[in-house]
Structure 1
């Protein structure tokens, strides 16, 4: 059980897998942030240590200054007592006060902080040490005054030194904050760059999968080669899509072959049936009764409709085999006139007029003729009777716009999405009472696709139904 769990966990985190890539990208993106945290902690520790040291030094200096001032007060009192008493006890008090003052002076002036006024204090102290030479308090007063002045200088010097150290400390903190700011910006930028890089390693294979799916859906030829630098899961999906593409190609080949053989094989017996029906109808093998002639009429009509279906299948089969278009300059008005001649009988029976506004365009003549044939046939079969069919061709921004519009019932929006799929027939009744093959609009869409264009249903103000074919213009070949 434990071994199977280890195997499962190893397969989940195997090298090159999607999980491995995501976790690895996340950890790599965290490295700059971890470095930033470590640097911030180091700087904060250094600031804290520096603050503690400076505070201790400043507090020590202030304490020494206070002790020196206190020792000066004791020394001054002892000297004044000696001038009054002039005995051994007073002399010992002065000696003790001098020793204590000298210790406080040495502790302050020997400190790391440079203190101005120590020389003056040392000079005055040397004078006061010969206190026994003073005869009166008046002789002592100038020395005590100079001592107080020297102590004031010492106090001011200590204040200046403390302020200088605080200024240096503030400058160090400001420099450290500036360093932290640009370091944070740099490391965050690096993290974002690493995150984008890691996401791009996943997005690129996904985009390729989307491209392959789009190519499969549109049958756009050979698929791109398999990826060599991608997570294993996505490479597996890509292999499955390549297999699916090969399978679809096989099915397409089978479908094309089936249509080709079925249409071809049906033509021969159909020709025999039509010939037999014609012989029976003409009375070549004997006269037919009225009921027999009615049956033969139905057989002839069904045979004609079956012939139309086979021709449509053959036309669709030929279209599937054409992969590229050959662009030439086409006189659209002449081509449309030829199409109208083919449908002249149907147009007269349905009392339909055709309004043409056309200009020459660059297109594949055979494919364009199929487009006009099928759109005009669709307009004749589904358009309103005793109305006008509009055919308008124009070129705008190096794009040919072909509009074929007719009056009649509008196409429901929910039907437009699959209207151009093969073998999809409209719901409305046909004017010729013939069951359609559902290939006409599909042939139009495939012809437009081969010429790098498309067909859509648009709304116009002069008709209820309008099909627009868009064909990008190219140089003549």
Structure 2
């Protein structure tokens, strides 16, 4: 099945959105051009109609004036002027009638009255008395004036209606254009949202998969959908997951084998040293007893180191498996202090707990182990009669746990190395009870698993450790 790449999908989406918006813009531009063309044509027609109406009115006045002058003076020039004005008026009337169908009845009556006036003016002067001709012509000419008023009103009404229709058309085109633009924008948003979903969903999956790899959650296969190149990235991540699983399994297997291979001869060595120390093979001289004691001490220390290494490896693996839930720190710290009370009393050290803090999202069991190691480390290094102070507080979106003791302190150059496994600083002998050297390393592992951090702050006397954890909200 052919699947587009991330870049081609993004480009196709961009071009589709441009095409949609461009089509809406071109359609709106064509509608605007069509409306402008129709408006210009309509305006020209209305202007011509208004001009013809004005010419009709002027030529009617000329026709009337020429007719009256001919009836008075009976000079042929007046009659010719009257006939010319009538002909121009009839031409203007014909144009009005062509453009305005509603003017046809009035135009027909105008022609009838114009013909009657012309007949009265140019009729036989011997057969029809002048007075009768004058009255007939005056009546016909007066009717022409009234008909002109009617035609002018019809033209004005037509112009008003035409302008109203133009405005209605404009509103209709504007509404149509608005809906086209809104439709184009909505379609573009939908297309952009679908493209974003198509592209961002696998990216979020990749992000979660990388986080799982970082958290050592390697038991679930990684399958990424979406574009072809992102699917290839998913296959590479799954290959990396398999490789990390193999490396983790090999590491654990090597540790088990090494511990077994070391413990077996070490047990034999300790057994032999014990036999020597017990005098089974004969009484030892004082020098031999001293050497035997050194051998017994070192073999015991070596066995403890092997067990510590295995224990720390198990702690590292277990620190990533958290059962997070809202947890109150103050009761937890009090419980830890109560559990360490016998150790503190044996050292003559008091544990003071002050302050309070908001809830944190934590695995109570693992956070209790981290706090226990932190406070136990402070108690172990504190001199007799001193105090270990545990302060709880909040700062911005973080919860702070400060553990302060009056012990020998930490050298500035060792403030980071102190959290390394089996590193005990430059003055481990100042501690009455020897430690394993992994307590603070366990604290850092568990606190980091909770998305927090632990650090050693510089102080003039003693040691000051600060744990920072995010709020539960």
**Alpha carbons 2:221, 2:238 under 8 Å: kept:** no
Quick one: distance in 2 between partners of 1:471 and 1:77?
105
Q: Name the structure 2 match of 1:121.
A: 110
Quick one: distance in 2 between partners of 1:369 and 1:156?
99
Structure 1 position 252, deviation (Å): 1.1
Distance change >3 Å, CA 70–CA 453, structure 1 → 2:
closer
Quick one: distance in 1 between partners of 2:276 and 2:364?
41
Gaps of 5+ in 1: 1-13, 358-362, 394-400
Distance change >3 Å, CA 365–CA 208, structure 1 → 2:
closer
Are 2:56 and 1:68 equivalent residues in the alignment? yes
**Alpha carbons 2:402, 2:464 under 8 Å: kept:** no
Are 2:142 and 1:154 equivalent residues in the alignment? no
Q: Name the structure 1 match of 2:5.
A: 17
Q: Name the structure 2 match of 1:27.
A: 15
Candidates 228, 236, 242, aligned match of 2:238: 242
Distance change >3 Å, CA 458–CA 27, structure 1 → 2:
same
With the length of structure 2 as denominator, give the TM-score of the two structures: 0.74
Candidates 90, 93, 96, aligned match of 1:102: 90
* Paired residue total: 438
Distance change >3 Å, CA 419–CA 257, structure 1 → 2:
farther
Q: Deviations over 1:124-175 (max 9, x none)?
A: 3243022235715963445434433332332233223212211211121122
Quick one: distance in 2 between partners of 1:410 and 1:112?
106
Q: Name the structure 1 match of 2:201.
A: 204
Q: Deviations over 1:418-471 (max 9, x none)?
A: 976x6373656333499976533444566789xx967754899xx964576989
Quick one: distance in 1 between partners of 2:83 and 2:414?
116
With the length of structure 1 as denominator, give the TM-score of the two structures: 0.73
Are 2:423 and 1:425 equivalent residues in the alignment? yes
**Alpha carbons 2:390, 2:402 under 8 Å: kept:** yes
What secondary structure does 2:147 align onto? Answer: helix
What secondary structure does 2:305 align onto? Answer: helix
Q: Name the structure 1 match of 2:439.
A: 440
Quick one: distance in 2 between partners of 1:150 and 1:56?
25
**Alpha carbons 2:17, 2:191 under 8 Å: kept:** yes
Structure 1 position 282, deviation (Å): 5.8
Gaps of 5+ in 2: 325-331, 355-361, 393-399
Quick one: distance in 2 between partners of 1:61 and 1:48?
20
Quick one: distance in 1 between partners of 2:301 and 2:250?
26
1:377-456 paired onto structure 2 within 5 Å? 377-383=376-382, 386-389=385-388, 406-408=405-407, 409=409, 423=421, 425=423, 427=425, 429-430=427-428, 431-432=430-431, 438-444=437-443, 456=453
Higher mean alpha-carbon deviation, 104-113 vs 201-210, is at 104-113
Q: Name the structure 1 match of 2:192.
A: 195
Quick one: distance in 1 between partners of 2:53 and 2:231?
79
Distance change >3 Å, CA 383–CA 244, structure 1 → 2:
farther
Q: Name the structure 1 match of 2:395.
A: none
Quick one: distance in 1 between partners of 2:412 and 2:164?
82
Are 2:212 and 1:223 equivalent residues in the alignment? no
Q: Name the structure 2 match of 1:302.
A: 298
Superposition RMSD on alpha carbons, in Å? 4.7
What secondary structure does 2:220 align onto? Answer: coil
Structure 1 position 206, deviation (Å): 0.9
Distance change >3 Å, CA 251–CA 35, structure 1 → 2:
same
Are 2:256 and 1:260 equivalent residues in the alignment? yes
**Alpha carbons 2:353, 2:390 under 8 Å: kept:** yes
Structure 1 position 213, deviation (Å): 0.6
Are 2:302 and 1:313 equivalent residues in the alignment? no
Distance change >3 Å, CA 157–CA 335, structure 1 → 2:
closer
